[in-house]
Amino acid sequence: MTGNDRPSPEAFLRQAAQEGRGRLKVFLGAAPGVGKTWEMLTDGRHRREAGVDVVVGVVETHGRRETEALVHGHEIIPRRQVEHQGHSLGEMDIDAILERRPQLVLVDELAHTNAPGSRHPKRYQDVEELLDAGIDVYSTLNIQHVESLNDVVASFTRVRVRETVPDSILENAEIEVVDIPPDELIERLRDGKVYIPQEATRALTHFFSKSNLTALRELALRRAAQAVDAQMLDHVRSHALAGSFAVGERIVVAVSELPVAAELVRAGKRLADALKAPWTAVYIETRRSQAMTDDDRRQLADTLALASRLGASTATVPAASVVEGLRAFAEDARATQIVVGKSARPWWFELRHGSVVDQLVRTIDDVAVHVLPGEPDTRTVQHRAAAVPGRWGKPSHYVVSLALVALMTVLGRLLLEVIDLGNISLLYLIPVMFAAATFGVRAGLFAGLASSLAYNFFFLPPTGTLTVNNPENVISIFVLLGVAVVTSQFAARVRAQADLAQSSARQNAALASFSRQLTAAPDQDTLMQAICAEVGRLLDVRTVLLLPSADGPMLRAAVPPEDRLEQIERAAAQWAMDNEQPAGRGSSTLTASDWLFHPLRTTRGVLGVLGMTRDDAREPVRSDQVPLLMSLLDQASIALDRMELEEASLHARQIEERDRLRAALLSSVSHDLRTPLTTILSAAQEMRRHPSPEMAETIETEALRLNRFVSNLLDMVRVEAGALPMKVEATELFDAAASAAHDTRASLAGHEVKIDISSNIPLVRVDPVLLHHCLINLLDNAGRYADPGTPIIIRASRTADSIALSVIDQGRGIAPGNEKRVFETFTRLEGSDRAKHGTGLGLAIVKGFAEAMGLTVEAGNNAEPHGARFTIHIPEALIISNLTDKDIP
């Protein structure tokens, strides 16, 4: 079974990964108003009428009566309400859908961004969770929200869409294009069926122009075709089906080390653009590749780099012959068109080696072959003549071959009395095969000729001469020589293939190791240092990595460490950044530099440059290392791009969290400062007219409340800054609980505090001040949310490996799923007893103080009596079994 006859493991694994998952169907449109939601609801109704259990997860009708009418009759899962900046936002309730577990759920607007505080930031992540649970999903999407097309859409609409969906979501989805002509969509817009009249007028002059809608329509149709084509190829490969399945065009351009290859690449680009098809530039590496000169390898690297810049995928494939490798690659890629060049070579060259173009046309089926004429290959004779000395091998190879022939001659003379003369000739196959397999075809032919002469001289009568009396012996000599030639050719071919396979395996292993090192890097600085270290190790060079800055290229990593670069090196690095081309030693620009700089390119532009040099003043990169270097640069660029995007995403989340905290702080301060201040002002004005002890007590109580609020703010700042001063000492938990209960007696008025701590509970090693603050905040929290007149319990119990110190109230408890969220800064949850007034800082401070002392805290609900239960766990390491002098403060 050949590689093309068996199923593709990668495609098979991708299909296997979908087993047990729900199916996603995306209704893809060119723009709002084409009828995606209508089509989704209509399909959902048909499925429901066919007996499928269908529910609506979320549908945005935008006030359109026709869409609202389609929603009626469907079971609708109520939305979950999320509070954000004083507004209540309705989001899809994933938990309710998972509990309901329908067969199909309708989810509108796949690219929607969820409100802060939701389980996932994006709705497509909600859909992924539903699919993982085995639930089918229908959803809608506009083409401008596809991540890979974001820049393309912005280039002609002048509108940058912020909500995007990764292309990977569409890879395994069934896509249905909802399409109407641009004129019809514009008419719908004018009729007010998409937006209200004021917005419709503005949209028609901007986003909804006919040229924009036509371009968006083409993008939607093309993207859907690409997705269908990719899914079809996966199916074909996983089932090992033969044929190109030419539903969509796929182009392969065969390149070589010849100068004409650059013209082939440009022609392939023009053909791909005309057909709107993906294309690949491939180089077939054969045993002849070993004889390539440095100039040849540099020319090949430049050609592949050109193809990459023009948007092609590039590949280097080892094979026994160009035709065999190109045919196998085209079949695997399901190519529909191949672009090759035909050089005008001497007749004797084609007579000996054959014509690649002729063989390709005769042996490949169902593929169009484009042949471009090339200039006469004047380098052929010169190139081969220059390559001859190296290809003839070392003199020692021929000496060893001759020694083996002599050894076989001696062995044959010893065995002459035992075996027939005809069998003696078989002994000479040993040095022939050994020389061909070890030293190459020329050494094998030399051994074959020497073997024939030795056999004639020492064994065929008359011995001691090269004369042959018996004509049958002449045939034996020619047979031996012919077998030697054929055996040498086969052995040399096997050796060349083994060398290619070994070289490919070494390169693949190097790339795999490089990828593992980059993936393991936790931050950008470590990543850049890893890039320099691995490239330096694999290519045996010194390396530097520079990133662009306002002051020019900035040195960020180097192996070995470099403090500075000369002005010429910085100029070369800047040129490489600006022109996206190599610069410096070994390139065609600024060759006076000792360093060679290669740009690190991605679809977002040049991220930086990688510089290389050698201590021995030779060119930094050998010609045979160029393909490996190109692969390393591609991986390094992708890794840097990924790290930059992750850091940008983290920065955006930090800004979003900072804005949330700022808004929450302003809201909290405006309420929690204004309330006591208003009370104090009112009491002070009343005291001015009618002094009384009650008014003074009111002022004191509200002032203490203000002081506690400011203290909480300061404590939270210290927690987040990691600047908590601690003085650890032996602490009695009963005393700590009693002290906290005493200090909160005013805020706990109407609630009895019961302390249930046995005298058998040992002392613990904590900071008594921080523990006191923890208990005060927990008691204050319980006092606000416990039912009026109910007791609050402080209880300590010994477990196998810790002490659990709990504060229990008797209220409505905490809503399921919010046990961890209650400890977030400024969090006051709706739908539970944690929603009353307060700063939202107390429980966050408890968590911060507890973790600073090495403790853990958790929230939950108590069974009997029913209410919220907050527990501080003191680990065994902090429990004092036997009191010593050092534990006494």
pLDDT one-digit tens code per residue, 357-414: 777 877 777 788 888 876 555 544 444 444 434 456 678 888 988 999 899 999 888 8
The SS3 assignment for 868 reads strand
The pLDDT mean for the chain works out to 78
Which pLDDT score is estimated for 462? 78
- Helix (H) / strand (E) containing 808: strand 802-808
Helix axis angle for 429-439 and 395-415, nearest 10°, is: 160
Question: Comparing 204-218, 235-249, 581-595, which segment has the lowest mean pLDDT?
Answer: 235-249
Cα–Cα dist 328/322, whole Å: 10
Sheet holding 792-798, edge to edge: 753-756, 792-798, 802-808, 867-875, 856-862
Distance CA 637, CA 244 (A): 33
Q: Indicate whether 874 pLDDT > 90.
A: yes
Taking the C-alpha atoms of residue 770 and residue 773, their distance in angstroms, rounded to an integer, is: 5
User: Residue 670: is its pLDDT beyond 70?
Assistant: no
DSSP state of 634: H
- Count Cβ atoms below 10 Å from residue 666 Cβ, excluding itself: 11
pLDDT at 469 over 70: no
Q: Are 803 and 760 in contact (CB under 8 A)?
A: no
- Residue 757: phi and psi, rounded to 5, are -130, 115
For the stretch 816-845, pLDDT in tens is: 878 887 887 655 554 333 344 455 567 877
* Residue 858: per-residue pLDDT: 92
| Burial category of 322 from C-beta neighbours within 10 Å (exposed 0-12, middle 13-18, buried 19 and up) | buried
Beta strand pairing status for 596-602 and 764-766?
unpaired
Cβ atoms of 849 and 728 within 8 Å: the answer is: no
Contacts of 110 (CB under 8 A, 6+ apart): 26, 123, 124, 127, 139, 140, 141, 145, 165, 169
| Highest-scoring range by mean pLDDT, 97-106, 282-291, 375-384 | 97-106
Helix (H, G, I), strand (E, B) or coil at 390: helix
Q: What are phi and psi of 444, to 5 degrees?
A: -65, -40
pLDDT exceeds 90 at position 54: yes
What is the C-alpha to C-alpha distance for residues 573 and 597, in angstroms, rounded to an integer? Answer: 6
Locate the DSSP E strands across 197-300. Answer: 251-255, 279-285
Q: What's the full length of the chain, in residues?
A: 889
Measure the CA–CA gap between 383 and 297, rounded to whole angstroms. Answer: 13
Region 852-867 average pLDDT? 87
What is the tens place of the pLDDT at every residue in 730-773? 999 999 999 999 888 877 888 899 999 998 899 999 989 889 88
Residues 792 and 754 sit within 8 Å (Cβ to Cβ): yes
Contact between 338 and 359 under an 8 Å Cβ cutoff? The reply is no
pLDDT in tens, 75-100: 999 988 887 766 778 889 998 999 99
Identify the pLDDT of residue 433: 77
The rounded percent of the chain whose pLDDT value lies above 70 is: 77
Say what the pTM is: 0.47
Annotate 735-754 with three-state secondary structure. Answer: HHHHHHHHHCCCCCCCCCEE
Asked if residue 7 has pLDDT above 80, the reply is no
Query: How far does the chain reach from its first CA to its final CA, in angstroms?
Result: 81
CA distance 402 to 439: 13
Section 772-784 average pLDDT: 88
- Kindly indicate the confidence band of residue 881, based on its pLDDT and cuts at 50, 70 and 90: confident
Q: How confident is the model at residue 3 (pLDDT cuts 50, 70, 90)?
A: very low
- Residue 108 confidence (pLDDT): 92
